[in-house]
Amino acid sequence: MRTRWRLAAVQMAVTFGDKLANLNRVRQSIREAAEHGAQLVIFPECSLTGYAFENIAAALEVAEPIPGPSTVELSLLCREHELYVIYGLLERDGDRFYNSCVLLGPEGVVAAYRKIHLPYIGADRFATPGDRPFAVHELPGLRLGMHICYDGSFPESARVMALLGADLIVLPTNWPHTSMCTAQCVPICRAMENHVYFVAVNRVGEEGGFRFIGHSRIVSPTGDTLALADHERETILYAEIEPKLARQKHRVLIPGKHEINRIADRRPEFYSVITQKGLPQHDATAHR
């Protein structure tokens, strides 16, 4: 059982619609990360396929099933280097497609996640909303949860995975130039408020009129940044994590004077409005 994990976050450019070129880049990055001792290598959203599709037919043309051609090939690489990989792709299921990410290991496909929250941009305009609940997956000594890009803007997403026991929450993303505040704030906030490790892996380059800003980040359970790409260039971030630290939710800042537990101190009986659809109805006379 591993007590420490070495992570690699691959901030990369993606060639739109060219799965072979992107697969070659992913393979190259996995080998490089393996040489640096990485045990889990994480890639951006839609790193296999690209994202800025203008119609459903074009997106379906590059989408593939899970398991599928890329999962078979990359699973062999995972077995060769004895590591795990997370990457994003458009997943085809009949005449529908999902914006998905997949977790691979030496044994093959470990898990896949379908993006639940879909903004009106790029391929998400045509994708089917994710139909599977958030989940936590057991690796040797590590409990891992996955979500994608816009999901990170909904605190409930990470909170559910934290309550399910996640030590590490991964966010493959495609943040464009309008998302700098998100890139700077979301990873730190989600890590701190759930006391988990958090990895946001963004892409760089341009596609379909969008410029992607990089700024990938690996964050500790206390909200401290362990590794940051504060630029728009290709790079690989590395950090070592200790899952046991994420499981110690009770923080003693000053013994007997300042102690907090952001999980145990919750008051769920006051949160019911969160699960209601739409905006709450307010009494128009309440503020007169």
Distance, in Å, from the CA atom of 36 to the CA atom of 97, rounded to the nearest integer, reads 35
Distance, in Å, from the CA atom of 78 to the CA atom of 76, rounded to the nearest integer, reads 5
Quick check: bond before 67 cis, omega within 30? yes
Establish whether 149 is a catalytic residue: yes
In Å, how far from its chain's centre is CA 248?
A: 22
Establish whether 45 is a catalytic residue: yes
- Active-site position among 64, 91, 149, 207: 149
Q: For residue 28, what are the contacts with CB-CB under 8 A and spacing of at least 6?
A: none
- Active-site position among 19, 45, 46, 91: 45
- Strand extents, DSSP E, 220-288: 225-228, 235-241, 251-254, 258-260
**Count of CB atoms situated within 10 Å of the CB of 271:** 11
Distance, in Å, from the CA atom of 136 to the CA atom of 130, rounded to the nearest integer, reads 16
- Active-site position among 115, 207, 232, 242: 115
CB half-sphere exposure, 178, CA atoms < 13 A: 4
| Residues 242, 244, 246, 251, CA torsion sign | negative
Mind telling me the catalytic residues? 45, 115, 149
